[in-house]
Amino acid sequence: LIRADASFKWSIQATTNLTARLTVAELRLLRRSGLHQICQGIETASPTVMKLMNKGFQDLGDIYQSIARCIQADVIPSFNIIFGFPGEGVKERRETISFMMDVCRRFPGAEFWTNIFTPYPGSPVFHRAKELGIEVPDSLEGWVDYFPRYTVLPWLDYLRIAFDRQPIAADRSGRWARLIQRLTTYPARWRLDHDFYELPWELWINRKLKRIRTLPAPKVDAKLLEPATSPSCT
């Protein structure tokens, strides 16, 4: 890609132990070729839940090192997190949240994508769904819009606003709205640090701003996306 002078960005998915083996020099070489993000499925920072997920190969010390190397090489370290995995309690949840908070404070360029545990067909824990009290669809069509609503995670929204993460498609106009959103990040961090979620006024403000601000219409002519008519075989 470097020899071909390719000018496009690409990303990869990798396990944390693979990323930990890459040096800064290797990451910089990959960055020159267009790599801009490494997505890693850490899933949890709790040693207890790691064992339940068969992720005993993960080491938090190595993960911190790989994050630092990625930042040095101008590559975005991105992590998937799963909350609500069977066996995760308050202590284990706090371990993961504390890890996320620490990483975001020490490495502002890092990203986290939070998910709620979903027992998809074929996964090792799918057969335990009924035992866990989780109702799952009984048809392929049902899985299209399936979202696990078996648990309430009041702190999940706080994780999304605590470090002022802005979606790629977000409207960047509205300076005052952005300022207000940015100010809500500080109390959100305090709540996460102290595990206190009563009277969530920051979330009310955030949702109100989302209703006020509308995204611009896409500048794409849908007609241009219509498939061309195939020639007749007759």
The full set of domains in the chain, from first to last, is 1-117 (3.30.750), 154-214 (no CATH)
CA angle 88, 162, 195 (to 5 degrees): 45
pLDDT for the residue 107: 93
Q: Cα–Cα distance between 175 and 114 in angstroms, integer? A: 27
Q: Check: CB of residue 86 under 8 Å from CB of residue 132.
A: yes
- Helix-strand-coil percent breakdown of the chain, rounded to 5? 40, 10, 45
Q: What is the pLDDT of residue 152?
A: 59
Q: State in Å, rounded, how far the first CA of the chain is from the last one.
A: 44
Q: pLDDT of the chain along its 234 residues, tens only?
A: 778 887 889 999 998 888 889 999 999 999 999 999 999 999 999 999 999 998 888 899 999 999 999 999 999 999 999 998 999 999 999 999 999 999 999 998 899 888 888 888 888 888 888 888 777 888 877 777 776 655 556 677 788 788 765 543 444 546 777 777 778 888 988 988 888 888 888 888 877 776 765 544 445 444 444 444 444 444
Q: Looking at residue 231, what is its pLDDT?
A: 42
The predicted structure's pLDDT at residue 5: 81
pLDDT of residue 36: 93
CA distances from 186 to 98, 104, 127, 162, 175 (A): 16, 13, 42, 7, 18
Backbone conformation region of residue 230, classed left if phi is above 0, alpha if psi is from -120 to 50, else beta:
beta
Q: What is the structure's pLDDT at 151?
A: 54
Cβ-based neighbours of 121, under 8 Å, separated by 6 or more: 143
Q: Where are the beta strands (DSSP E) in 18-110?
A: 35-43, 76-83
